[in-house]
Amino acid sequence: MAVWAVGLAILGLLACWLGRRQRIVTSQGWWQWTTGEEVKEHSPRGKGNKQSLVGDCQWIFKPSALALALLKSLGKSPDLEAWQWCWKTWPYLQTATQLLWPPDHPLEFARDHLQVADNGLVALDWVIGPWGESGKGPSAAESTVLLVVPSATGKITRNICQLCQLALEKGYYPVIFNRHGHNGCPLTSARLQPFGDPSDLKEAVAYIRFRHPTAMLFAVSKGSGSGLLLSYLGECGSSCDLHGAACTSSLLKGQDWFEAGSPWLCEWALLLYQKRVISRYTEALRGVVEMERVLGSHSLQEFEEALFCGRKSQPMTWEAYWRCNEPLRDADDVAVPVLCVCSADDPVRGPSSRTLPWELFCTNPHFFLLLAPHGGHCGFLQKSSLPSAASWGNTVALEYLGVLAKFFQADEGMRERPRRRRSAILYQHGQGVRQNRETLPASLDSQESFSWQRSYTR
């Protein structure tokens, strides 16, 4: 434990050295000590978009009844208040605490192995503990299922453990998706999952729906896992089984992110971890990719290109790879609400002025952006002593999903009321009596009280 403490102290000092202290002014105060380029304008003006302040965070959205309901709910969240404390402005420290520090209580789970179309295996870890202060939670049959998609490294971080424990306390049934070869899942086929290939995730979601046919199903992704989740939502369109999704510290421009690179400290750490994971399968993969080139890569772009573009049987160019794996390639077909929780000082993603698709949040009613001035990458630590501080990003994500559930239930109730009224009138007056539409309230007849309508694109 002393080694971890020394490491965090060093990272804190590096944060002070690497961070370029800048001030970003907003209409109600200052966003202080933001790393990277100054974000002069967070979104284009005059195009029907809305921006609102929630504490010291910006809520960017296309106006709709759902967006306003979310704004009202998040505005009451104490975690989004504009508090200041000494290490809040250290993005590297927040990132290291949540990604490197071990969890207080390891997760207890029951694992299902699922054989997918390429005869490989993916693993679904159903989290069954540990419980919080209540000592127990609702049964699986009564719970809303929460699918957790880790980053492309597959690491079950402290942040993910905190998310699952908080979800258990709030009545969700969390399940973690593990790709080929991740977290003890056997690699039974010579294939790893590309950055934005949702084929395995589709089968996993279908299996979850089979096991819980009547439960609401939500998803939360972490970091680069957003590339997989958003690809799934775009490819499936209105036929996807999810009711909503939240992406924390999402990487929304995959190709640009790999080509621009991250600060040397972040890139070095991510590259070494992925090399360590892939080195276990050197002999199994040697027949399909040049493992010497993969393990000898000097950047994340070289690693990704050698592993997925340099296959001996089906080589492809870097540009062709991203035409099939860019997270937002089918963003127009996404048919469920998606919340992206990001920080302006994310050291892994890079400056928000060039790494976030502002136009998407301003024009697409399915996408919402909560942009915090501080939080690092998957950090968003609450005001508490280190390292026990929890992530307010997890709290906000679950609160958002709770609002979605209530909103959709109310929407379904509004749809059912005219049908129930019509059935009662027909029962009382006989089948031959014509329904008088003037007896129905206009709000129920036209359904204008809720502007949210799930799109049907496929």
Q: What is the CA radius of gyration of the chain?
A: 23
Q: Evaluate whether 121 touches 183 at the Cβ level (below 8 Å).
A: no
Structure tokens at 170: 């709030």
Backbone torsions φ then ψ of 434, nearest 5 degrees: -75, 135
- H-helix or E-strand spanning residue 221: strand 217-222
Active-site position among 346, 366, 374, 411: 346
Distance CA 7, CA 2 (A): 9
What does the angle CA 236 – CA 241 – CA 245 come to, to the nearest 5 degrees?
85
Provide the Cα torsion 383, 386, 390, 396; round to 10°.
Answer: 40
DSSP string, 78-137: GGGS----GGGG-HHHHHHHHHTSPPSS--EEEEEEEE-TTS-EEEEEEEEE---TTS--
- In this structure, are residues 184 and 124 in contact, taking their beta carbons and an 8 Å threshold? no
Q: Which residue has the tokens 């997760």?
A: 107
Give catalytic status of residue 56 as yes or no.
no
Buried-exposed string 297-329: b where 16+ CB fall within 10 A, e elsewhere: bebbbebbbbbbbebeeeeeeeeebbeebbbbb
**DSSP letter (8 states) at residue 36:** S
Q: Which of 56, 182, 377, 411 is catalytic?
A: 377
Residue in the structure block whose two tokens are 């979800």: 167
Separation CA 115–CA 93 (nearest Å): 39
Annotated active-site residue 429? The verdict is no
Task: Give the CA count within 13 Å in the CB-facing half-sphere of 6.
Answer: 3
Type of residue at 162: Q
Do 267 and 377 form a contact (C-beta atoms < 8 A)? Answer: no
Active site positions, annotated:
346, 377
